[in-house]
């Protein structure tokens, strides 16, 4: 499972490893008019429910690693939401793998400074899709999941 963390919108993508196929892509949205505590509770409850529905021994969770940008407030909110996602995965006994945006781009495109368009286009090409996966959060979650699959396959070759 790939996760693009956020606090307004969180992207989720479940991919099958062999052969690589998209099982589902979805987003979880929180209402910006709601209190932060309500929003974080919604993230916790809905992600826990999602994990319960797809729980399997071989389910691995990959999440984009947060980096702090100029908007520190947003970065902190995303980090708090990400902490809830990691906690819920840990409660279900799932190991969480983190990948930086640079690692994700390198694994998918071979270039760490690839644009969002290049990533979306590569996903569209790989899965022979007619259109881009939308919204961007869902597409980013697919990229995170693919990065983990590619990374783990290379790690297994090295061992």
Cα atoms in the 13 Å half-sphere on the side-chain side of 1? 26
Is there a catalytic annotation at residue 46? no
Whose CA is closest to 141, among 69, 47, 32? Answer: 47
Whose CA is closest to 123, among 142, 98, 101, 138?
A: 142
Q: Does 49 participate in catalysis according to the annotation?
A: no
Is residue 119 helix, strand or coil?
Answer: helix
Tokens 């974080």 -> residue: 40
Do 144 and 100 contact (CB within 8 A), yes or no?
no
**In angstroms, how far is CA 91 from the centroid of its own chain?**
18
Residue 137 falls in the annotated catalytic set: yes
> Which one of 46, 58, 64, 98 is the catalytic residue?
64
- The single residue listed with the structure tokens 């529905």 is 53
End-to-end CA distance of the chain: 23
Catalytic residue among 21, 35, 80, 137: 137
Tokens of 102: 């640079």
Catalytic residue numbers? 4, 64, 137
């Amino acid at each position: 499972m790939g996760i693009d963390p956020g606090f307004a919108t969180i992207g989720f993508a479940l991919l099958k490893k062999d052969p690589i196929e998209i099982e589902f892509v979805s987003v979880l949205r929180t209402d910006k008019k709601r209190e932060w505590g309500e929003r974080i509770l919604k993230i916790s409850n809905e992600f826990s429910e999602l994990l319960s529905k797809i729980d399997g021994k071989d389910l691995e969770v990959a999440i984009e690693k947060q980096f702090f940008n100029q908007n520190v407030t947003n970065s902190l909110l995303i980090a708090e939401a990400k902490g809830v996602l990691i906690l819920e995965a840990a409660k279900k006994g799932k190991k969480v793998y983190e990948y930086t945006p640079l690692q994700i781009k390198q694994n998918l495109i071979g270039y760490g400074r690839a644009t969002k368009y290049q990533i979306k286009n590569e996903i569209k090409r790989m899965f022979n899709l007619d259109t881009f996966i939308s919204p961007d959060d869902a597409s980013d979650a697919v990229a995170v999941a693919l990065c983990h699959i590619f990374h783990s396959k290379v790690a297994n070759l090295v061992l």
